Structure 1
Amino acid sequence: MTAHLMNRNSSSRRGTRRPAPPALVLVGHGSRDPRALSTVRTLMERIRELRPGLPVHLGHIELNEPLLPDTLAALGTGDAVLVPLLLSRGHHVKRDIPEVAAASSAHVRIAGPLGPHPLLVETLYERLVEAGWRTPDAVERRTSAVVLAAAGSRDPDAAVDTRHTARLLANRLGVPVVPAYASAATPTVTDAVRALTARGRPRIAVASYFTAPGRFATQCTAAAPGLAAAPLGSHPTMARLALHRYDQAMATPTSSQHTLAATA
């Protein structure tokens, strides 16, 4: 009799056990710079610390393993939310990631890119402060500016998103912020610095609008006339933002609908 009650209670507990939440799959671009993979792995650990019990995986678009198709294949027919570690809309967000998701047997939702979002702006600000930025006084404000260095894309929506982030950062800093790009778009960081200097703003810092160290981030830092911030990297706020995008995608009724470029 006792054994029967124990089995029944055990079955009851099993019956009320909550199912595991859909996995969060971080989608990195991939880089030949080994610091990029190390940074993303640290970010994964921060996400796990913030939300214990949430399965967190990693898949890359190119250059690094695991590649996204392999990560999804390992999930089988399970549920997953893809969170791109990308800062704006562009070809990877609109084409590459959805195509991989469509070919997978997993049940996939796709979150929007990380940016633009106020949490990114706070991370950019804190990275600038870490690099030595201090709030300019009234006199310095008239001669100060920031270049927001981004990867660049031929997709016009990517430029729209980057300009949005630049405006938010300008409001946060109280000085002009000019977007500049490492490839596929203009101006370059060098051209932006030259233009700002010609406008009487020689006190220029470069904010690194990259999710991890890599060739483009290094290239933009080398073009800085002085102070240059580190990439966004594994800053704790980035982990919060990745979870925010995951939650947004989970709240979206249609699994094929993208949660694109939200700002809240």
Structure 2
Amino acid sequence: MHHRPAPAAARRPATLVAVGHGSRDPRARATLLRLLDRVRELRPGLDVRLAHIELNAPLLDETLAGLAAEGREAVLVPLLFAPGHHVTHDLPAAVAAVPGLRARVAAPLGAHPLLAEALADRLAEAGWTPGEDDRRTTGVVLAAAGSRDPRSGAETRRIAALLGERLGVPVVPAYASAAAPTVPEAVAALAARGRHRIAVASCFTAPGLFATRAAAHAPWIAAAPLGAHPALARLVLHRHDRALAAPAVVHGRELAAV
């Protein structure tokens, strides 16, 4: 069913639509809702809504149809870390499927100092305390979802490099699906380099199958998913603000930014 968009004069301010993948783990949706509560605390008055690509309600297409009916512009912020198929195809396709919707799709969370801060803090919470002597035998596996899109792997490597600079130890990216190396393979590669105190950093927004499997392969400590970390909330707003500076789109046509 198509909704008639509201007249231009009645349009309301843009809504931040945080787009999660969706998960069968019941903790995932609750975790993302807590993250968005932090976003609202940082930006009072901003309309912030959660939507999912699959598996959980509300689904993205329903959310976008509702925003079009309300006359709101949407800024989609993917709660994903790299430009894989969901970011480059599914989100633009969802926008194009809603007649009259004004929307912008933000970049994925990606390599940013705020993300490195959140990853490092979660490792510290898990027990990361290597001294200078320990750093020679310590390494980190950065566990991420994985994608066949080469841009995704390149972005994950940039995230690993940022985290390695922050921690002062080697950080090797690894993937739960669709790409290599796997977490066990990355652990073995670090061990072959004499790194026997190996932690797993969780490059996931919320608990789920991939995060659980990755943590199970940690020889030493495993960080929790990033969840409602304050730095991640700031990064969501940063991506939203950057997207607002770009032109909006209706049915693939650029409009002047408002």
Q: Which residue of 2 aligns with 1:219?
A: 213
Out of 43, 48, 51, the residue aligned to residue 51 of structure 1 is 43
Q: Tell me the distance in 2 between the aligned counterparts of 1:203 and 1:43.
A: 31
**Structure 2: unaligned runs, 5 residues or longer:** 1-10
The 3-state SS of whatever aligns with 2:125 is: helix
Give, as a single letter, the amino acid of the residue that structure 1 aligns with 2:121. Answer: E
User: Paired residues, what number?
Assistant: 239
**Which has a greater percent of strand?**
2
8 Å CA contact 2:13–2:72 kept in 1: the answer is no
Give the TM-score normalised by structure 2: 0.89
Out of 154, 160, 165, the residue aligned to residue 148 of structure 2 is 154
Determine whether 1:107 maps to 2:85.
no
Tell me by how many angstroms 1:74 deviates. Answer: 1.0
Q: Which residue of 1 aligns with 2:23?
A: 31
8 Å CA contact 1:25–1:57 kept in 2: the answer is yes
Tell me by how many angstroms 1:21 deviates. Answer: 2.5
Q: Tell me the distance in 1 between the aligned counterparts of 2:61 and 2:54.
A: 10
Determine whether 1:164 maps to 2:158.
yes
- Report the aligned-residue RMSD: 1.5
The 3-state SS of whatever aligns with 1:96 is: helix
Q: Which residue of 2 aligns with 1:42?
A: 34
Q: Tell me the distance in 2 between the aligned counterparts of 1:174 and 1:39.
A: 30
8 Å CA contact 1:180–1:189 kept in 2: the answer is yes
Tell me by how many angstroms 1:129 deviates. Answer: 0.4
8 Å CA contact 1:20–1:54 kept in 2: the answer is no
Tell me by how many angstroms 1:218 deviates. Answer: 0.1
8 Å CA contact 1:27–1:83 kept in 2: the answer is yes
**Structure 1: unaligned runs, 5 residues or longer:** 1-18, 259-264
Give, as a single letter, the amino acid of the residue that structure 1 aligns with 2:149. Answer: D
Q: Which of 1 and 2 has greater Rg?
A: 1
Give the TM-score normalised by structure 1: 0.87
Q: Which residue of 2 aligns with 1:127?
A: 122
Tell me by how many angstroms 1:135 deviates. Answer: 3.7
Q: Tell me the distance in 1 between the aligned counterparts of 2:213 and 2:81.
A: 18
CA separation of 1:20/1:254 partners in 2, compared to 1, >3 Å: closer, same or farther? closer
Q: Which residue of 1 aligns with 2:196?
A: 202
What fraction of aligned residue pairs are identical, expressed as a percent? 62
In the TM superposition, structure 1's runs of 4+ consecutive aligned residues that sit over 3 Å from their partners are 253-258
Q: Which residue of 1 aligns with 2:230?
A: 236
Tell me by how many angstroms 1:252 deviates. Answer: 1.3
Tell me by how many angstroms 1:240 deviates. Answer: 0.8
Q: Which residue of 2 aligns with 1:246?
A: 240
Q: Tell me the distance in 2 between the aligned counterparts of 1:44 and 1:233.
A: 10
Q: Tell me the distance in 1 between the aligned counterparts of 2:89 and 2:247.
A: 21
Q: Which residue of 2 aligns with 1:145?
A: 139
Give, as a single letter, the amino acid of the residue that structure 1 aligns with 2:61. Answer: P
Out of 58, 61, 85, the residue aligned to residue 66 of structure 1 is 58
